[in-house]
Amino acid sequence: MTKDTPSVQHVLDLMTPHLTEIAGLTAATVFELDSESGMMAGTAQFGEPGRRDQMVAGKVFRAAAGGPPVVSGQQMAIRLRIGGQTVGVLLLTGDRLAELRPETISTVALHFATTLQGLFAEKARQFVAHTSATIQELFEKGMTAGSVEEAAELLTHSCATAFRTEHAGLHLIDNDGRIRYVYSVGCPDEIRQQLEGHLVGKSAIESPVWRSTVESGEPVLVNNAATTKTRPGGMAQTLGLGSFIAMPLMSGFGPVGMVLCGDSSGTRDWSARDRILAQQLAAEGALIMDSARMRQANQMHVEELTRQAFHDSLTGLPNRKHLLDRGEQAVEVAMATGTRLALLLLDLNGFKQVNDTIGHHAGDILLQLVGKRLDGLIRKPDLVARLGGDEFSVLVTGDPSDEAAVEVGERICARLREPFEIDGRPVQIGASVGVALFPRHATEFAALMKDADASMYEAKRSGGGVHLTP
């Protein structure tokens, strides 16, 4: 938190006397909503908390977003919204809550929502700063590593620091898939020796955790190790981890190892930001070890490889993989919070004629210009992606209604109908936009894409415009 950002507790302390006088306030809790995980956590408190507080607060998510507060006995749950997004819940307990006027409730809610929004922005800044610093330090030190083993040790320390875990371990495999090297952080020499004795020379595929990470190519986040199959004598069991993150190291030659970090003192609920950081660390770790082996990598190459994995090379927009990752995360959040998502797929009308009459060079320029227009139309954190060819997509979060989703599509069509200028020539196109909503049309992102695709072709058959499946 910065000195310019008041704490939620400070705001609550200032408002408590006024609310007590008006409504007989006896307790109040401000819950902060994690937009990525959909979980609520108390961030400010007045009076004694009740056992049912979180349950009552959660009832606001079953009510209309713009509706009145939810009242349950002597408790009132007020949704905190700003910019069309829910950022938290204010729960009041008192014997005269009915005397609170709507304008008073709105003013109080706006104060807390504004404060929470400022704190969210600061947390995001801190996350970016922490991630950037961790990746930069790993890169700088990794570029000086004289061997794969040295680079692996640097990576293990970086992961333990990045996630602030008690322990971290790593193993590397040989060309036959057998573990050839083991390293650990945060454990005595006796445990290190046990790890080496249990693992070196053994086949990596015997580990269920290894199989999960390598098959998916993605990190595995385990909140409670007791509910997950792990290798007897493996890292998780030998280190006594209650929760852990396992990250695969995938080089250009295939899997080369795995990093595992976690805590032995208890369990931990990993967040979506933890997953993003784990993906970045896994990719970066594999790269610095490839660099140590080949002694050639440099920072520009690393950044370009990372970008290519998630962005379209022609337009610079996120690509299909990026969309799928974000979409699946957004579905999880929406399911947890009881909110909606909209997915728009669009196809350009008249693109083939541009290619045929002016040339493919003009078609490429047109795709770049379309990407810029779309990106300029969509608010953050909504996502514009290019799927390939002349197909684009827009992921709309923040609990959009049917009307809001269609309005986004109509704005896109109107903007794309405006003429483009390519090589001094005016070029005019249109768009066919298909809209699908979660959970109305589908409860899984892959199915949502299919429904949006079908709607897009309906729009195309109708001559363009926006189509929303009834």
* 73-84 pLDDT, tens digit each: 999 999 999 888
Over residues 113-117, the mean pLDDT reads 89
Top CATH class, 320-468? alpha beta
**Backbone dihedral angles phi then psi of residue 69, each to the nearest 5 degrees:** -60, 155
CA-CA distance, 127 to 129, in Å (whole number)? 5
Q: Where are the domains of the chain?
A: 8-119, 143-310, 320-468
**Confidence band of 3 (pLDDT split at 50, 70, 90):** very low
Confidence of residue 187 (pLDDT cuts 50, 70, 90): confident
pLDDT for the residue 2 = 43
Instruction: Tell me which fold the domain 143-310 belongs to.
Output: Beta-Lactamase (3.30.450)
Contact 312, 165 (CB under 8 A): no
The per-residue pLDDT for range 224-273, each reduced to its tens digit, is 999 999 999 899 999 999 999 999 988 777 888 999 999 999 898 888 88
Of the candidates 10, 247, 273, the residue with the CA atom closest to the CA atom of residue 116: 10
pLDDT category of residue 302 using cuts at 50, 70 and 90: low
- For residues 145 and 106, the model is more confident at 106
Q: What is the pLDDT of residues 435-467, one digit of tens each?
A: 999 999 999 999 999 999 999 999 999 999 999
Residue-wise pLDDT tens digits, 98-108:
999 999 999 99
Using CB atoms within 10 A of its CB, is residue 24 exposed (0-12), middle (13-18) or buried (19+)? middle
1 — pLDDT class (breaks 50, 70, 90): very low
From 3.50.50.60, 1.10.1060.10, 1.10.10.10, 3.30.450.40, which CATH number describes the 8-119 domain? 3.30.450.40
Q: Do domains 8-119 and 143-310 have the same CATH topology?
A: yes
Give the tens place of pLDDT for each residue, 394-410: 999 999 999 999 999 99
Between the alpha carbon of residue 79 and those of residues 31, 70, 367, the distances in Å are 10, 9, 41
- On whether the pTM is more than 0.85, the answer is no
- Residue length of the chain: 470
Residues 6+ apart with CB under 8 A from 79: 60, 61, 63, 65, 69, 86, 89, 109
* pLDDT exceeds cutoff 70 at 304: no
